[in-house]
Amino acid sequence: MLKALNVCLEVDGPGEPGPNNSLFLLREVNFNVPPAHLVAIVGPSGCGKTTLLKVITGILQQTAGELHWDGRDLSNEEDLHPGDLGYVPQFSVAYDLLTVEESIASAMTLRTQLAGTEDFIPALDHILEVTGLTHLADRQVKVLSGGQKRRLGLALELVTDPCLLLCDEVTSGLDPKSEREITDLLRVLSRGHPKRVVVNVTHSLASLDAYDSVMVMYQGFLAYHGPPKSMMHYFAAEHPEEVYLKLTERKNGDWHESWEKHRDTYYKRHGFDGARVLPEDEIAAKKSNTPGKTIVPVGGAVAEDEKSEPKAIEHHEFPPIELPSLTTQLVELLRRRWTIFRRDKAQVWLHMAMLLGFPLLVVIFALDGIKPLRALSSHQDANAVVEMVNQAKYQQEQLKAGGLVSGLIMLQVVLVTLMASNNAAREIASERLILEREKLGGLHPFAYVGSKVIFLGFFVLAQSLWMGFFVDMVVGGLPGDLLVKLALLTLASAAMTSICLGISAMSKTPEKATILCIYLVGFQLPLSGAVLTLPDWLENWVQPLIAAFWSWSGSLTSMRSTAFYDAVRAVTDTTLVTPAIAGFVLFVHVLVGLSMSLVGVQRSQWDS
């Protein structure tokens, strides 16, 4: 039984925080919901329906009162096991480029230990059948209709056979037939587990007769909880649509007090006080001598006026649900991410264009500079007059060569950081709501961040190493140690990738994350000191934060033993650092970015 005792949720209102500026989103909510029960939460917009659902789920923590499940106080004792709780939010919780079957299989792998066992396929087939998705198993999510996506959302929660299934607006925006089908499916699911309670928040009053009971919320108060037919009598309404109008005729506190007086009578009459009263469909099932079976129509639920005989499906007994290991979750997340990437042709072509095009861009700027580079390495002549002429020419070529070498190194670094920003900026923010749902189902944050690090690490290595090798090969060998330059280029890419991944994890929307990362890349060149020297007082504050400076500076210092280093020093007054120091600072950038990612992933952003 699900039970609430004086549940309240109080938040700070607009203006200055204080005891007189509090706002009650929920106030003294009391209810009992017996097992094998389907309940609807209805009420005007902003009355607290979704808020109550999130409090039951544990997304929001009540400020007063108690919630009990099966005799346990969830406020003081351990929360429900992730396998016991199913939550279907308003938004889609599946990736568009995965198929229906892949989506369910992935959820099973992330939330159970069924993967690789003989129970995996039977459980998957059962979920597809009971939700009416068998004939859609090979279709990608992006081509599903609204009703089919609602079915998929329910299917994703059935992978653990939860005893408490909470649904937020799963029937909203559907046509009447689809709405009725989903409502009937919820009723079937409520009978599929001896202890299961199914709660659905809905704006629609059209299919209330399919529910065992209805909760009517009004301005944070519970105004009624009982059977749909009794609701009409309680509010003295002829049609369900009149209930909302009746609510406005009295103050919210009056409705609350009235219901508190009548609640025990209603609960005792209808078995909500703990005494089990069999619903009509269960009584009919017993009379038909089909014990232990759940009646599920072929292809999903059907409307009452349809005459096709429903198909009986044996209830599938799931093994005890245990969360998979962190390694299993990491491998599945990585496999799923690669599948999505391969199928996103636009992203594949964009990455190929950057991988091949950006090094070519660097080479274009380098071609005209090959000549002065060679001239700089010419031997000096023994004749004094010729030597004076050569010295003047040497100084002129030195400036050209110094500017060219410095510019080529910086251009490589900036382009690599640009690719890194593009890779990571939207990586977490674009799937934030799906992440929140999977965290509620037991997904470990370390597994999630680890999968992103491995996935993005491939692009870090491919883009930075190819950039360094290709440019060095075409130009004929830039001065300095190639291995050092490649290492610093890779570290610059890793640093920008991790920082942008952290920004993505902290951001509420992918658009905000993208804008912040664009700004971060845009500041790399002007604040690096490679083009214009920064004032000394500003340089000490800015340079530690600019990844491009450390990669550029360390790469230039690696050519200290060549004539090119003097040429570079002739065109810049910026203080350069050794490759070791540069590498260490870039590694610190990587650690900071990863720390931001972990903190951001663990933060709850349901309201984003």
pLDDT at 304: 37
Residues with Cβ within 8 Å of residue 439, at least 6 apart in sequence? 445, 448, 601
CATH homologous superfamily of 2-314 equals P-loop containing nucleotide triphosphate hydrolases (3.40.50.300)
User: Which residue, 198, 204, 131, 212, is CA-closest to 174?
Assistant: 204
Per-residue tokens: 551: 């990669």
Residue with tokens 């039951």: 56
81 or 401: whose pLDDT is higher? 81
SS3 content of the chain, % helix, strand, coil (to 5): 55, 10, 35
Distance in angstroms (rounded) separating the CA atoms of residues 104 and 121: 11
Per-residue tokens: 108: 């099973």
Give the torsion through C-alpha atoms of 400, 403, 406, 412, to 10 deg. Answer: -90
pLDDT at 74: 81
pLDDT at 270: 84
- SS3 string, 179-242, reads HHHHHHHHHHHHCCCCCCEEEEECCCCCCHHHCCEEEEEECCEEEEEECHHHHHHHCCCCCCCH
pLDDT at 436: 93
Residues with Cβ within 8 Å of residue 199, at least 6 apart in sequence? 2, 33, 39, 40, 41, 53, 56, 164, 165, 166, 167
Q: Is the pLDDT of residue 594 over 70?
A: yes
Residue with tokens 């509090």: 22
Q: How confident is the model at residue 366 (pLDDT cuts 50, 70, 90)?
A: confident
pLDDT at 312: 38
Share the mean pLDDT of the chain. 84
CA angle 552, 415, 517 (to 5 degrees): 100
When mean pLDDT is compared across 80-89, 265-274, 442-451, the lowest value belongs to 265-274
pLDDT at 280: 47
Q: Is the pLDDT of residue 451 over 80?
A: yes
Q: Is the pLDDT of residue 135 over 50?
A: yes
Q: Classify 332 as helix, strand or coil.
A: helix
Q: Is the pLDDT of residue 591 over 60?
A: yes
Q: Is the pLDDT of residue 45 over 50?
A: yes
User: Which residue, 322, 371, 300, 336, is CA-closest to 104?
Assistant: 336
Distance in angstroms (rounded) separating the CA atoms of residues 366 and 381: 28
Distance in angstroms (rounded) separating the CA atoms of residues 90 and 227: 25
Q: Is the pLDDT of residue 566 over 50?
A: yes
Please report, for residues 456, 527, 600, the alpha-carbon distance to residue 501 in angstroms, rounded to integers and kept in the order given: 9, 22, 10
Residue with tokens 């568009």: 96
Which sequence spans correspond to the domains of the chain?
Answer: 2-314, 326-602
pLDDT at 400: 67
DSSP per-residue string spanning 95-132 = -TTSBHHHHHHHHHHHH-S-TTSTTHHHHHHHHHHHTT
Q: How confident is the model at residue 206 (pLDDT cuts 50, 70, 90)?
A: confident
- SS3 string, 137-192, reads CCCEHHHCCHHHHHHHHHHHHHHHCCCEEEEECCCCCCCHHHHHHHHHHHHHHHCC
Residue with tokens 């998979």: 324
Task: Tell me the range of 4-8, 187-191, 448-452 where mean pLDDT is highest.
Answer: 448-452
pLDDT (mean) for 152-173: 91
pLDDT tens figures, 244-272? 899 999 888 899 999 999 898 888 888 88
Per-residue tokens: 132: 């009416």
CA angle 324, 325, 326 (to 5 degrees): 120
Q: How confident is the model at residue 307 (pLDDT cuts 50, 70, 90)?
A: very low
Q: How confident is the model at residue 20 (pLDDT cuts 50, 70, 90)?
A: low
pLDDT (mean) for 453-481: 90
pLDDT at 15: 62
- For residue 23, report the phi and psi dihedrals to the nearest 5 degrees: -130, 125
Q: Classify 259 as helix, strand or coil.
A: helix
pLDDT at 356: 94
Residue with tokens 């709780």: 85
277 or 180: whose pLDDT is higher? 180
Distance in angstroms (rounded) separating the CA atoms of residues 576 and 557: 7
When mean pLDDT is compared across 275-289, 318-332, 442-456, 526-540, the lowest value belongs to 275-289
pLDDT at 369: 57
Distance in angstroms (rounded) separating the CA atoms of residues 522 and 99: 38
DSSP structure class, residue 505:
H
